[in-house]
Amino acid sequence: MTQPLKIAIAGLGTVGTGAVKILQTNKDAITARSGRPVVVTAVADLDKKRDRGIDLSGITWFDDAAAMVATADIDVYVELIGGAEGIARKTVEAALARKIHVVTANKALLAHHGVALAKTAEAVGITLAFEAAVGGGIPIIKALREGLAANTISRITGILNGTCNYILTTMRNTGRDFADVLKEAQELGYAESDPTFDIDGIDTAHKLAILTSLAFGTQVDIKSVHAEGIRHISALDIQYAEEFGYRIRLLGLAERDKKTGGIVQRVYPCLITSDQPLAGVEGVFNAIVAEGDFVGRSVYEGRGAGAGPAASAVIADVVDIAAGRRTPTFGIPATQLKALPSVSLDQHVGEYYVRLLVVDRPGVLADIAGAFRDEAVSMESVLQRGKTENANVNIVIITHETQESNLLRALKRLKANAALVEPPHMMRIENLG
């Protein structure tokens, strides 16, 4: 009989528990697809008493993941602890040193140390796999690394964080403001008690850095990702965007700059027309659009998180290892990944949404128009609504295409104007056609 593939899982949270459940539920199908049995022989977690609804009999339990990696007789180490440093990094490096294959869902670890880890794995002929790190159950890693290997990718665009997408969707559907919807998302388990990584765009930035490496053959460069979050988005912004025919989405975008040959990596909330594929992606769903020179536009959509989708991606990597399928970690050998220059966002050229809350008095609109004129920013549309309860008015402007540095100078001038009640609200408009 073919020897079974022995795996150890560190972290029996929702994803780890889901992985064990999949292996137990779909045992026969996984064996057939792997060409050999796949068995969990060891797990590591601090909470041994919690009932996880899975059968852990016959599996060796470790309180210490490092001890498990150092001593267990295993072929694959599944790291589901999380975090760029600490025990997660320590155990992955230890597994690679023992020539044990690694499967991880840890996007932070890969964003900060992915190239070094890939070089180590490839030097000793073992696999470092991470399908679950981006997009949950969407097989976007395999798609970029293998399915689109014949193409030169020009752009990657994605909704990569289900928490933010849920918040923005709910704000649009209910008219409620950010803080209220965030609290609901936490109560439903869609947002962490400390949601900083999600709502400030950090989680999306980690994922985008990984996708950029796969798409463009570059070294993972998290430091070059410009990241903004959604804290400042109000129900008013969503309402006004709808009036102009747009939806607001937190997007991760990466593309090659035609002038410099460098890579632009940016994460921010932006306006996209309601007829775009990503505009219809609602709730906790993720979606990624890859644009290749021969295949054209490919759209991948699915649940971005949760026990089922993420665990499905973890086991898909395990099946590849069991079946002996290997590819370089980031599509090409890690030693050949290029370090391309990053491109500053102030060189970005596009259209913009600007909302200004101002005192309702004569001459204010002329001051705004003057600041825009002096910095060579042309206004395409202007919308002014009636007074608020404090006798102020919102002025919403859609600009023509302009360089971002010009707009930022215009907004800086306006900040000094006593008529502004609060700092200007600016978002980019992305043409994804």
Q: How confident is the model at residue 150 (pLDDT cuts 50, 70, 90)?
A: very high
pLDDT at residue 347 in the model? 77
pLDDT, the chain, mean: 92
Amino acid type, 264: V
- Per domain, the residue ranges of the chain are 5-133, 140-302, 347-429
Higher pLDDT among residues 324 and 51, named by residue? 324
107 is catalytic: no
pLDDT single digits (tens) 343-364? 777 778 899 999 999 988 888 8
Strands 263-273 and 246-256 come out as antiparallel
- CB count within 10 Å of CB 180 equals 14
pLDDT single digits (tens) 357-416? 998 888 888 999 999 999 999 999 998 876 666 778 899 999 999 999 999 999 999 988
Q: The CATH number of 5-133 is which of 3.40.50.720, 3.20.20.70, 3.40.50.10890, 2.60.40.1180?
A: 3.40.50.720
Residue 322: strand, helix, or coil: helix
Q: Which residue has the tokens 């006798």?
A: 391
Which of 207, 223, 259, 412 is catalytic? The answer is: 207
CB 392 within 8 A of CB 364: no
pLDDT single digits (tens) 181-202? 999 988 887 888 889 999 999 9
CATH topology of domain 140-302: Dihydrodipicolinate Reductase; domain 2 (3.30.360)
pLDDT at residue 387 in the model? 66
Q: Which residue has the tokens 């990569």?
A: 160
Residue 97 to residue 429: CA distance in whole angstroms:
47
Domain 347-429 coded CATH 3.40.50.300: no
- CB count within 10 Å of CB 137 equals 20
- CB count within 10 Å of CB 335 equals 11
